[in-house]
Amino acid sequence: MPKTITVHYYVKNDLEMLSATAADWITSAAEQAIAACGVARIAISGGNTPRRTFELLADPAQPFRQRIDWSRLQLFWVDERCVPPEDKDSNYRMTRETLLSKVSLPAANIVRMEGELDPEEAASRYESALRNKFRLEGAELPRFDLVLLGMGDDGHTASLFPHSAGLDSMMRLAVANHVEAKNSWRITLTWPVINHASGVFFLIQGASKADVLRNVLLGPYQPEQYPSQLIRPESGELRLLLDTTAAAKLPPAGSDGSGVLELTR
């Protein structure tokens, strides 16, 4: 049955403005969740785009670090490469270097994907960790307070790549997904888990994303080709934080730098 979602997109002039806004959204989500239920559960993505956001969150000269009660934040990952945590390609390593090593986040609140293990074992262990942290029963899904996503220039998000087996997984929380184009294994949250979150936003930068982003939002529904189209939050709301080059093929934003799309799929 078709579902209508409201997509709010916000366009920033450069990486610094993009990253500062992302840091503020993460901080605000953490504050609201902690105020409401005493804990904030946030899932983050890796890659190059969020690096500056994490640096700003950790910077004592910025307001974000002081606003977060780190003892009440639980941090999860959306996906991970199947590499050891010290590997240069590890999403965990990037987050540790830019954020975790600089804030007082308790080790028990850091729930990483163990990319050094066999992929299937790593996915299974992460699913068990989610069930324990969220105290899930039966077919319950974890409800993250916020999920931060990126998007590749092939339309993938998390480690849900075009035409990969992970796109068909609806009963698992996390899966091992083989990426033929990169001849590698990844661990990823499944798209039903992402869609169940209280809040979801994409952080997208670069001219190489402009055409595919237009296709994802305004083209026909082809999630096997553009997995980012699978992200249709149950809340009915999706936010995109874009730089000007990534947003170049979308309808022009208003004078306040924002735009709205209503999508039915």
Domain ranges of the chain: 28-202+216-233
Q: Tell me the C-alpha distance between 250 and 210, whole Å.
A: 8
What pLDDT sits at residue 2? 79
Is the CB of residue 92 less than 8 Å from the CB of residue 85? Answer: yes
Is the CB of residue 182 less than 8 Å from the CB of residue 247? Answer: no
Which pLDDT tens digit goes with each residue over 203-248?
999 999 999 999 999 999 999 999 999 999 999 999 999 999 999 9
Q: What is the pTM of this model?
A: 0.97
Report the run of H or E that residue 50 belongs to, with start and end: none
CATH of the domain spanning 28-202+216-233? 3.40.50.1360
State both tokens at 20. 């500062």
pLDDT of 90 over the 90 cut: yes
Which pLDDT tens digit goes with each residue over 29-49?
999 999 999 999 999 999 899
pLDDT of 1 over the 80 cut: no
What pLDDT sits at residue 182? 84
CA atoms within a 13 Å half-sphere pointing along the CA-CB vector of 246: 27
Q: Tell me the C-alpha distance between 199 and 195, whole Å.
A: 9
